[in-house]
Chains A and B, each alone.
Chain A
Amino acid sequence: MSPERTASGIAAEVRAGRVTALEVLEERLRRIDELDPLLKTFLKVHEEDARGQARAVDIRRSRGERLGRLAGVPVALKDNINVRGWETTCGSKILAGFRAPFDASVVERLRAEDAVLVGKTNLDEFAMGSSTENSAFFRTANPWDRGRVPGGSSGGSAAAVAADLVPAALGSDTGGSVRQPAGFCGAVGLKPTYGLVSRRGLVAFASSLDQIGPLTATVEDAALMLSAIGGHDPKDATSSPRPVADYGAALAGGVRGLKIGLPAEYFAEGMDRETEVLVREAVGCLERQGASVVEVSLPHTRYAISSYYILAPSEASSNLARYDGLRYGAPAAAGATLAESCAATRGAGFGPEVKRRIMLGTFALSEGYHEAYYGAAQKARGLIRRDFEDAFSKVDVLATPTSPGPAFRFDEKSEPMAMYLSDIFTITANLAGIPAVSVPAGLTAAGLPVGLQLLADSFREDLLLRAAAALERERPFARCRP
């Protein structure tokens, strides 16, 4: 991919003064104007605000000030990440009119690196979904086939990057919401170790699982974005105090001597043949570069879906209880009592998937059921975590498909369970808190991208990025772009 299209390339050009941040932005805005009506990746493009930011970067450069690592790089943000003064909708009607009173910590860091924030991208309502079909506003199309979903819930961010509307975007990943759409759209999507990236300013879905992660076109850009947004934040009590690595430096290392594990449970029967072949070929490519490949077992994987769909909705039922229309957002017409008003607001404001999960979570936490559901799911989570600890005592990274199959058609998975199963390979990383990345493995015969997921032990993003970069060097992802 040509350097003027990547985040690292743009930053280098802008710093060197070969192009201005405003020129970069205007070119992107023209492209958004042209293509986004077809794809509908953005909920809101903040053109004027972005121009102001770009001009400020150019002024800083003209004054001879040292510019940041993302100088002039246009970045899109999933619309569950707060930008001061901008609306945060979470793809929901219930937050209509809510303007964020503060910048998310990741936004502060992007600004500090001189990135240009372009706008907010579409998502499944409150990040609940795997297709972006649950957005209260509109669906986003997959740039490879506009009859197909981009994946979700960070579908807007993934599609915007895949269609080259922006070189980089942020998404959030609670059960695969960065990696799965990255796989569907042929982008690089990284879910960092829980605690590596601050959650402050990310509207919570399931607080113990949520992580913000970058979506980019190249591995180098993923490393650059992660270096910018990662690191300790005293305003997030779950943020890790360990110093953040320079992930860019890790890329060149190659995979000679790297031990790759293939978990048997992730190559189960019933998965898409072409997906399996492409993933195994990608692993084979790494093997040819000197990595060794062994089969491993993660025996408690079978509990992942059920425990995830207890824990995540439980936390969500609590996190989403605040949306009552009293302090912000859209209240329905007042009822006779407070409870009625609140119920009317929530009834009208939330979509069906969000309601389903609130009900699930409320039930799972109820007295009398708490131990059988929430308690048991926590135990399963512990077992899944231990599976990974065992595996990483034997291998450096694990390789799996990101999803059981490529992007599906709109309305194809109207059954909630069918949709939930599309997260089957991604949710374990969230339950265990470990980092995982989806990188393009190739295209199906029908021309749809397939993602290879790599997982590593906590805070070993360097290994993930090194392996991903090795694959990218041999099989440039450029051919996985529409």
Chain B
Amino acid sequence: MSAELELVAGLEVHCQLATRTKLFCGCPNGAAGSEANTAVCPVCTGQPGCLPVLNKAAVALAFKAALALDCGLAGRSVFARKNYFYPDLPKAYQISQYEAPFALGGEVRFKAGGSERRARLHRIHLEEDAGKLLHAVGSRELDCTLVDFNRCGAPLIEIVSEPDLRSAEEAHAFLTALKEILLYAGVSHCDMEKGELRCDANVSLRPKGASVLGVKVEIKNLNSFKAVKEALEHEAGRQAGLLASGGRVEPETRLWDAGKRRTEPMRSKEEAHDYRYFPDPDLAPLVPDPRWIETLKASLPELPAARRARYAESFGLSEYDAEVLTSSSSLGGYFEESVRGLPAEAVKTCVNLITTELLGRLHAEGKAVEACPLAASSLGSLASLIFKGTLSSKLAKEVFAKAWETGKAPEALVAELGLAQVLDEGQVRGWVKAACGANPKAVADLKAGNERAIGALVGAVMKLSKGKANPGLVNRLIKEEAAA
């Protein structure tokens, strides 16, 4: 992109709410992966005479999302019909919200390019999902198209941002932060592979510093964070190329082809749908009871930003550590449980164990924190053993591995394996004397002021003690011995 142009992007994020049932009927939600058309009923397949009944649990989750994102909640929102023909839409209209969405405003804070950034939200509305068309079964192309209505009627919120994003990297960071909040609030499972989080982007270019917006292109089919980043980079390049060669950017909808890694035209503005929105006469306006909103607010868990601030404040964690530990709600929970009862000075030890040993091992085994075989309290005990000097960090690694495999408590393992460090001065002095006696040259070098000579003596002591001698004590006693 030429230096004088800047990218302006806004995202529209569809997020499937984690309810038990669909938005307007009692069919199970989240059965998209089940056998086709097994989670359907007359309502979600649009049989004549059916009426929608709003799922209150979906409304609760939608409102929680809005509260978590600092949106203003509308005292009255209205369901509208979005009319269009498509075989995955059995009523030929989608029940959505149009003129009166349930949430307005709000913002998402994120970090990009080393600085704090924020993107305002325009609105959030509640709507039902459509079904899914199948053109192939496995690798076999079909000579017809099949429809699966399992997903049809699933509850979605569409979160629309303002055009506040200035780079592909920012869009990626925005999505990461948004997903984190939605997961924390328990609103959605946000599994992009299952289509629980889907994204469209509005992208334009303008001269850097200009206040007017350029011609906007909508990009659809962004089904991963990577796709969002790549598509924005690609589209910015495409538009910059057009402008540089004296061309014009046409207002249109383009489709991201993840395989070819490029956007391709889908429809022009002239071909845009006229959705003929009007208020759905089958549903009353949504007028939430303010007391109910208060209950929802009270039920919101601590959100990532607040938690990070608290970790920095009450545990003295670095920004980096706080960020790692709050990257998921469950990891933060694990951390808090592991440091329960630990002296403040030992917290850092515990954090190090989590960020290196625990996360490394989880990652290697492809496990989530929830599936961690090592209880948080055990990790805390391990940190405590290190802090008290019972275990060297090297021995701690050994105990960690054993505890991971056996599920046994670290104290028990230390006793069982006889791994506790030896702090008894008399015993350590015995090993030091023996080591010095066996290495007169090293002792002489040390006496002559060659500090590096101590290494050989320490190594010898460790060998004699099978690694159990406390290193600090060993150092001190060797120096005393040399000075004597």
Contact = CB atoms under 8 A, between A and B. Distances in A.
B47 A328 contact: yes
A200 B51 contact: yes
Contacts of A199: 51
A264 interface: no
Contacts of A408: none
Interface string B271-296: 00010111011111000000000000
Contacts of A367: 274, 276
Nearest to A338: B87
A295 B11 CA distance: 61
Nearest to A100: B49
B91 A238 contact: no
Nearest to B284: A237
B53 A322 contact: no
B50 to A, nearest CB: 7
B48 A88 contact: yes
B293 to A, nearest CB: 21
A235 B91 contact: no
A405 B85 CA distance: 42
A374 B42 CA distance: 30
B45 interface: yes
A203 B48 contact: yes
A208 interface: yes
A329 to B, nearest CB: 9
Contacts of B278: 314-315, 318, 365, 370, 374
Nearest to B42: A101
Nearest to A235: B53
Interface string A69-99: 0000000000001100000101000010010
Given A207-B281, A237-B284, A314-B278, A321 B93 contact: yes
Contact of B93 (A98, A200, A318, A362): A318
B83 interface: yes
Given A321-B91, A367-B274, A207 B49 contact: no
A203 B54 CA distance: 19
B474 to A, nearest CB: 77
Contacts of B75: none
A234 interface: yes
Interface string B66-92: 000000000000000101010100111
Contact of B276 (A201, A234, A238, A365): A365
A236 to B, nearest CB: 5
Given A207-B282, A366-B274, A366-B276, A318 B49 contact: no
B49 A88 contact: yes
Interface string A336-362: 001100100000000000000000001
| Most chain A C-beta atoms within 10 Å of own C-beta, residue among B83, B91, B281, B284 | B281
Nearest to A202: B49
A236 B51 contact: yes
B46 A322 contact: yes
Contacts of B277: 365
B276 A200 contact: no
A104 interface: yes
Contact of A322 (B52, B54, B90, B276): B90
A1 interface: no
A342 B85 contact: yes
A200 B50 contact: yes
A362 B49 contact: no
Interface string B250-282: 000000000000000000000000101110111
Interface in A208-257: 208, 234-238
A318 B83 contact: yes
Contacts of B47: 100-102, 327-328
A204 interface: yes
B91 A322 contact: yes
B46 A201 contact: no
A104 B47 CA distance: 12
A324 B92 contact: yes
Contact of B284 (A238, A328, A374): A238
Interface in B82-106: 83, 85, 87, 90-93
A237 B51 contact: yes
A200 B49 contact: yes
24 contacts: A81-B49, A82-B49, A88-B48, A88-B49, A101-B47, A102-B42, A102-B47, A104-B49, A200-B51, A203-B48, A204-B49, A207-B282, A234-B53, A236-B53, A237-B53, A237-B283, A238-B51, A238-B282, A321-B85, A321-B93, A322-B46, A322-B92, A327-B90, A366-B276
Interface of B: 42, 45-54, 81, 83, 85, 87, 90-93, 147, 274, 276-278, 280-284
Given A95-B48, A208-B281, 13 more contacts: A100-B47, A101-B47, A200-B50, A203-B49, A207-B281, A207-B282, A236-B51, A237-B53, A318-B276, A321-B85, A328-B47, A366-B274, A367-B276
